[in-house]
Amino acid sequence: MTSPPTDLVHRLRRHRQEHVLTGWDQMSRAARAHLVDQLAGVDLAELDHLYTRRDEPHTALPPRDRIAPLPVEPPTETAVAIGEEALRNGEVAALVVAGGQGSRLGFDKPKGLFPIGPVSGSTLFRIHAEKVLALSRRYGRAVPFLVMTSHATHADTVEYFEGEHHFGLSPEQVQFFQQGTMPALDLATGKLLLEKPGELFLSPNGHGGTLTALTDTGLLPELKAAGVKHVFYFQVDNPLVKVCDPAFVGRHIETQADVSSKVVFKDDPAEKVGVLAEIDGRCGIIEYSDMPPEMNEERTADGTLAFRAGNPAVHCFSVEFLERVTTGADRLAYHIARKKVEHHDLATGETVTPEAVNALKFELFVFDALPLADRWLAVQTTREDEFAPLKNAAGNDSIDSCRRLMTDRARRWLTAAGATVADGVAVEIAPTFALDAAELADKLPPGLVVDEPMYFNV
Ligand code: UTP
């Protein structure tokens, strides 16, 4: 390729982005092909549109009288048999989203490789994979394990799974698929930012990119053809998640929900979590940053927060619903975030490390699919039981708090099973040893005393 393709040049000119071709003549053949390839995946008209809308709110919240607290079911075991039957029939897949860059944690590999196990040092990926393995053994059917990566995490993730022999899962059971990317724009000018000459600055397109990637990669039709009817969605950074929880999946099936969500009640208005609510008669999320202060503080007659249905990002989607929201006119819209982006400056030929916000980044959020559901379900769970997010190196939702929640739950299960656990002793239960408190109780010898750190593993 000696000169850039004419149609590309026209397209770039039309959108005032021809600066990205600067230095073309000095680029190698491979570098040129790479740039053309990157640009082929960029929708310049959409970027123009997003840049024009940069000061508008994503969605304006309607007035208070069109918003109501979302009814939330208490956890129930009534539909466990339905969920178990679906697992036995191969109708449920587990999907972990692991494409994020984990910038707050400051770990130099994908977050899934973080050794979070308080005693074993097991990584997040190992813990999740062992849950899938334990479920597959329990129900006598391989549960498909879908791992969504991004260009930032894909190679390391696949290499890690291969090196660990897929943690005992069969390689065919684990399906990796990559989410899409989005460029960043210079805030002041709307120009595409470059990572280096001839290389666009690209980031993963947000966890909502899962939905489009499922279709764009052809995975969704494949799953459907294999008989999968429901997809259990969770985030890589929550080691306590009850993957494919049969009670939850069972209620999801029983109520014929398009999407079901777990909810962790918020009891402190200061807790920075998005809440599920009924907005114009549909299920939606009010992000913490969009929550009007008076609604955030509003309480019901019994003193609890009126809007307390916190979102731990655990959902079950019906495959039919996923098809609808990824192929029709219902596609999700990008959120616009103002960020500091280190980039290559063509004028000076240097890397710029900005002191202040200098760029717009664009992300899809998975919960934007919720208002598209015609039937939905919300089921309560607790932080202690099921939500230990690993976001930060220290402080809230940190390595320490995550390990503490893991140990505390293991301790509760052990105590309920009749064991005595000495104060301050770290304990951990491998999912392949016990997936829940009842299974642990079946396996423990009577009168067990734990007075040193212990990892219960097969
Ligand atoms: P977060 O929004 O917490 O982002 O992702 P993060 O990448 O883990 O961490 P920060 O914000 O950079 O510190 C929540 C979940 O969504 C996934 C993450 O991997 C995590 O499981 N995610 C996020 C994606 O899969 N893709 C994305 O583009 C963004």
Give 265 Cα–ligand 1 centroid separation in angstroms. 22
Residues 341, 298 share a domain: yes
Question: How would you classify the pairing of strands 350-352 and 449-450?
Answer: unpaired
Distance, in Å, from the CA atom of 278 to the CA atom of 68, rounded to the nearest integer, reads 5
Q: Is the CB of 308 under 6 A from ligand 1?
A: no
| Average pLDDT over the chain, rounded to an integer | 96
Residues 295, 441 share a domain: no
pLDDT of residue 326: 86
CATH code, domain carrying 280 = 3.90.550.10
Domain assignment of residue 13, yes or no? yes
What are the tokens at 231?
A: 């997809």
- pTM flag (> 0.85): yes
Residues 290, 432 share a domain: no
Whether pLDDT at 286 is above 80:
yes
Give 90 Cα–ligand 1 centroid separation in angstroms. 28
Q: Whose CA is nearest to atom 10 of ligand 1?
A: 102
CA angle 398, 402, 407 (to 5 degrees): 150
Domain assignment of residue 259, yes or no? yes
Q: Whose CA is nearest to atom 27 of ligand 1?
A: 206
Terminal CA-to-CA distance of the chain, rounded, Å? 58
- Domain that residue 21 falls in: 6-52
CA 452 from centroid of its chain's CA atoms: 35
Mutate to test the pocket of ligand 1, among 96, 150, 235 (most ligand atoms within 8 A of CB): 235
Residues 170, 146 share a domain: yes
Q: Whose CA is nearest to atom 7 of ligand 1?
A: 100
Count CA within 13 A, CB hemisphere, residue 182.
24
pLDDT of residue 433: 98
For 69-80, what is the mean pLDDT?
96
Domain assignment of residue 1, yes or no? no
Is the dihedral angle over the CA atoms 138, 385, 93, 75 positive or is it negative?
A: positive
CB 165 within 8 A of CB 86: no
CB-CB neighbours of 318 under 10 Å: 20
- Domain end: 350, 366, 389, which one? 389
CB 182 within 8 A of CB 301: no
Residues 398, 332 share a domain: no
pLDDT of residue 1: 67
CB 439 within 8 A of CB 429: no
Domain assignment of residue 11, yes or no? yes
Domain assignment of residue 316, yes or no? yes
Give percent of the chain above pLDDT 70: 99
Q: Which amino acid is at 241?
A: V
* pLDDT tens digits along 360-371: 999 999 999 999
Residues 430, 354 share a domain: no
- Domain end: 389, 409, 437, which one? 389
Give 19 Cα–ligand 1 centroid separation in angstroms. 31
For 235, phi and psi rounded to 5 degrees?
-100, 145
Residues 167, 144 share a domain: yes
For 155, phi and psi rounded to 5 degrees?
-60, -45
Residues 335, 406 share a domain: no
Which atom of ligand 1 is found nearest the CA of 153? 19
Residues 385, 396 share a domain: no
Class of residue 200 by CB neighbours under 10 A (exposed 0-12, middle 13-18, buried 19+):
buried
Q: Is 336 helix (H, G, I), strand (E, B) or coil?
A: strand
Domain assignment of residue 57, yes or no? no
Residues 284, 431 share a domain: no
CB within 8 Å of 241: residues ≥ 6 apart: 128, 234, 235, 314, 386, 387
Residues 375, 343 share a domain: yes
CB-CB neighbours of 351 under 10 Å: 11
- Domain end: 359, 389, 419, which one? 389
Domain assignment of residue 59, yes or no? no
How does residue 57 score in pLDDT terms, banded at 50, 70 and 90?
Answer: confident
Give 238 Cα–ligand 1 centroid separation in angstroms. 11
Question: Which residues lie across from 296 on neighbouring strands?
Answer: none
Give 103 Cα–ligand 1 centroid separation in angstroms. 9
pLDDT of residue 18: 95
CA 261 from centroid of its chain's CA atoms: 13
pLDDT of residue 329: 67
Give percent of the chain above pLDDT 90: 94
* pLDDT tens digits along 421-441: 999 999 999 999 999 999 999
pLDDT of residue 350: 94
Q: Is 398 helix (H, G, I), strand (E, B) or coil?
A: strand
* pLDDT tens digits along 391-412: 999 999 999 999 999 999 999 9
What are the tokens at 451?
A: 């007075």
CB 240 within 8 A of CB 385: yes
Residues 314, 415 share a domain: no
The total of structural domains in the chain comes to 3
CB-CB neighbours of 174 under 10 Å: 19
pLDDT of residue 341: 95
Q: Whose CA is nearest to atom 4 of ligand 1?
A: 100
* pLDDT tens digits along 303-339: 999 999 999 999 999 999 999 998 876 678 899 999 9
Domain assignment of residue 435, yes or no? yes
